């Protein structure tokens, strides 16, 4: 595995699964008690932080120290910012309509078990699988090379789009004059989903830190799954369906604005 200690990495994979499960089960305990399962969105970023912390600790003596620290810092900056933003955005709100719709499929007496399986269990599995590049990168024994630093730059672009896009949207929504209007300013002029585009860049950047070693390319399915979820899964399509139903000007916005990659607005 390109100098990577396969046995130590296998232990890390198992420990990371446990770390992700602990975080999501903690969120489940809170969500079931409060009847508010949107807490899983806050736990999402924290789960990756836990995996990165476990990987950093267990890879001591196996991976390059500078690379391990770089991976840890990048994941913590991204994950803690995301969780903090979602927590602030969710304060004072009820259940997320996505989870209401999902959990309505189960009979009332089996709703908790269904939530544990389809909300928290599934998210724990995704955290573990998507984070495989993070786990592997901590075990690469040589210092970061060109590919790793390129990945860091891609990560930085992603965090910029994600953080600035979220900040711009929060400011827009805080103005009562914008109620019912479509956010089409700032980064939102160039892409309908700067936060999702940024999230994809973050994970492609982290993947490049693992791909700095040839065996790291085996973690490519992880970043492909994450990108698919953002573009075609629970990210962009579900949000746009809701926006079409609630925002009268959204169709016009879609006609002139790129759906994912930032591009100049099209002429009407």
Same domain, 171 and 184: yes
Same domain, 53 and 152: no
Q: How far apart are CA 247 and CA 244, in angstroms?
A: 6
Q: Which domain holds residue 259?
A: 144-268
Same domain, 72 and 99: yes
Same domain, 250 and 178: yes
Least Cα distance to 69 among 83, 52, 86, 85 occurs for: 52
pLDDT in tens, the chain (268 residues): 668 889 999 999 999 999 999 999 999 999 988 888 889 999 999 999 999 999 999 999 999 999 999 999 999 999 999 999 999 988 877 777 777 877 788 887 788 888 888 889 999 999 999 999 999 999 999 999 999 999 999 999 999 999 999 999 999 999 999 888 889 899 999 999 999 999 999 999 999 999 999 999 999 999 999 999 999 876 677 777 777 777 778 888 899 999 899 999 987 6
Q: How far apart are CA 220 and CA 207, in angstroms?
A: 7
Tokens standing for residue 46: 């924290």
Q: How far apart are CA 40 and CA 173, in angstroms?
A: 23
Same domain, 134 and 249: no
Which letter, b or e, does each residue of 30-40 get, where b requires 16 or more Cβ atoms within 10 Å of its Cβ?
ebbeeebbbbb
The DSSP line for 33-77 is: HHT-TTHHHHHHHHHHHHHHHHHHHHTTTTS-HHHHHHHHHHHHH
Of 126, 141, 156, which residue is a domain's last? 141
Same domain, 68 and 177: no
Of 102, 117, 141, which residue is a domain's last? 141
Same domain, 260 and 150: yes
Tokens standing for residue 249: 């000007």
Q: What's the total number of domains in the chain? A: 2
Same domain, 154 and 94: no
Same domain, 89 and 106: yes
Of 122, 141, 160, which residue is a domain's last? 141
Q: Are the beta carbons of 24 and 47 closer than 8 angstroms? A: yes
Strand ranges in 71-126 using DSSP code E only, listed in sequence order: none
Same domain, 180 and 69: no
Same domain, 78 and 121: yes
Q: How far apart are CA 211 and CA 226, in angstroms?
A: 16
């Amino acid at each position: 595995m390109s100098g990577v200690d396969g046995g130590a990495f296998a232990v890390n994979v198992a420990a990371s699964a446990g770390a992700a499960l602990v975080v999501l089960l903690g969120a489940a305990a809170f969500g079931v008690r409060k009847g508010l399962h949107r807490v899983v969105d806050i736990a999402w970023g924290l789960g990756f932080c836990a995996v990165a912390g476990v990987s950093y600790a267990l890879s001591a003596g196996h991976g390059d120290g500078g690379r391990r620290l770089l991976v840890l810092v990048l994941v913590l900056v991204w994950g803690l910012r995301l969780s903090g933003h979602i927590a602030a955005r969710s304060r004072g709100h009820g259940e997320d309509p996505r989870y209401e719709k999902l959990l309505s499929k189960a009979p009332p007496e089996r709703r908790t078990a269904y939530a544990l399986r389809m909300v928290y269990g599934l998210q724990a599995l995704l955290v573990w699988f998507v984070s495989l590049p993070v786990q592997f990168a901590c075990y690469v024994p040589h210092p970061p090379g060109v590919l790793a630093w390129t990945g860091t730059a891609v990560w930085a672009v992603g965090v910029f789009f994600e953080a600035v896009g979220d900040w711009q949207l929060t400011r827009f929504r805080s103005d009562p004059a914008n109620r019912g209007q479509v956010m089409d300013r700032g980064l939102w002029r160039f892409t309908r989903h700067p936060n999702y585009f940024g999230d994809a860049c973050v994970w492609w950047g982290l993947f490049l830190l693992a791909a700095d070693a040839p065996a790291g390319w085996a973690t490519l399915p992880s970043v492909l799954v994450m990108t698919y979820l953002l573009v075609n899964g629970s990210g962009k399509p579900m949000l746009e369906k809701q926006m079409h139903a609630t925002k009268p000007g959204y169709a016009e916005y879609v006609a002139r604005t790129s759906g994912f990659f930032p591009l100049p607005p099209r002429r009407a």
